[in-house]
Amino acid sequence: MPGPRVPPINVLTAFQIVARCGSISAAAEMLGLTQSGVSRQIARLEDHVGAALFERTASGVALNAIGEEYALQVGRAMDALSVLGDGVQGTRDRGRVVLACSQGVADLWVLPRLNRLRQDLPWLELKLRVDENIGQLRPDEYDLAIYHRPARTADFVMEPLGPEEMVPVMAPGQPPLVERENPLLLTMEETFKEWTDWGNWLYAAGVNLPDTTMRWKMGSYRLAIEAAMQGIGVAMGWTWLVQDLIDSGRLALAHPQRLMGPGGYYLMRSAHRHQRQTTRRLAEWLCDSNSRPLTG
């Protein structure tokens, strides 16, 4: 006797991404498909369910009541498949945890803690997934994530790690920013508009830089910080990421003004996924490490 029909995994994946993005076009871009292709997958799934899952909004689409319940069930099913895969792969993968984060967090916060992590959790098999945008990741692609977010969202269980506080930083012994005749600002491409930037800080601080000011766009946040430590220019320091460097004397403040942004850095996990004991232990370690200085 044939079993119940199960939608293909690629259709369920498209459904999850559309639900997360709230946009057919954005989901199509992430999946590398056409908008019509994604629309057909959603229509196919709605035919399978026997009901509409989305409703149109001014900015795109949003899950209706049936869609929200179905999304919860799909998340649980994906989680069950992930756990099943772990069991098939053997006992070695029981200690494996996938931690997703941006490049800046990986370079400046995670990397300095890896030695201590190895000592404290010797059983852990860590996979570090570096991606600049958590919105491009499916919930089944990671166990924990560390990202800046402009606000809390219902899709995640979020533990605050640090505020979105920014202050200009430079190499120790250099003149303050406002005393420089030809300042060089080490900046980043404005990929994510929810982040505060140099313009926000300059306005809040009431600082007017001379016309000779130059801006160099760096390829990564770590490059900007490294260049600042070498005395090349002044970088914008998000204090949660660079406080250890300030405390150790490798960086100094280029101006006393600190600007608090609306967002923060969070340890996150999907609210729709079961948390394994290994994941919980790593989450507890990360939170504890966040409250301890590296040199302690």
Instruction: For residues 51 and 68, state if they share a domain.
Output: yes
pLDDT at 20: 79
Residues 6 or more apart from 166 whose CB is under 8 A from it? 196, 200, 201, 236, 237, 238, 239, 258, 259, 261
Q: Which of 36, 61, 86 is the last residue of a domain?
A: 86
Instruction: For residues 149 and 193, state if they share a domain.
Output: no
Instruction: For residues 36 and 158, state if they share a domain.
Output: no
> In angstroms, rounded to a whole number, what is the distance separating the alpha carbons of residues 270 and 191?
24
CATH no. for residue 82?
A: 1.10.10.10
CATH no. for residue 117?
A: 3.40.190.10
pLDDT at 68: 87
Instruction: For residues 218 and 239, state if they share a domain.
Output: yes
Taking 50 as the pLDDT cut, the residues of the chain under it are 1-3, 88-92, 192-194, 296
Instruction: For residues 67 and 138, state if they share a domain.
Output: no
Instruction: For residues 191 and 227, state if they share a domain.
Output: yes
pLDDT at 235: 95
Task: Tell me, yes or no, whether 3 lies in a domain.
Answer: no
Domain count along the chain: 3
Task: Tell me, yes or no, whether 124 lies in a domain.
Answer: yes
Cβ contacts of 88-92, under 8 Å, gap ≥ 24: 92/125
Instruction: For residues 256 and 168, state if they share a domain.
Output: yes
Q: Structural domain of residue 149, as residue ranges?
A: 91-162+264-290
Expressed in angstroms, the distance from the first to the final Cα of the chain is 64
Q: What does the chain come to in residues?
A: 296
- Runs of H (alpha helix) within the chain: 9-21, 24-31, 35-49, 65-89, 103-105, 114-120, 198-205, 221-229, 239-247, 277-290
Task: Tell me, yes or no, whether 33 lies in a domain.
Answer: yes
Task: Tell me, yes or no, whether 295 lies in a domain.
Answer: no
Task: Tell me, yes or no, whether 151 lies in a domain.
Answer: yes
Instruction: Record the tokens describing residue 295, joined without a space.
Output: 């040199």
Q: Which of 58, 86, 114 is the last residue of a domain?
A: 86
Is the Cβ–Cβ distance between 254 and 166 less than 8 Å? no
**Which of 219, 182, 184, 212 is CA-nearest to residue 198?**
184
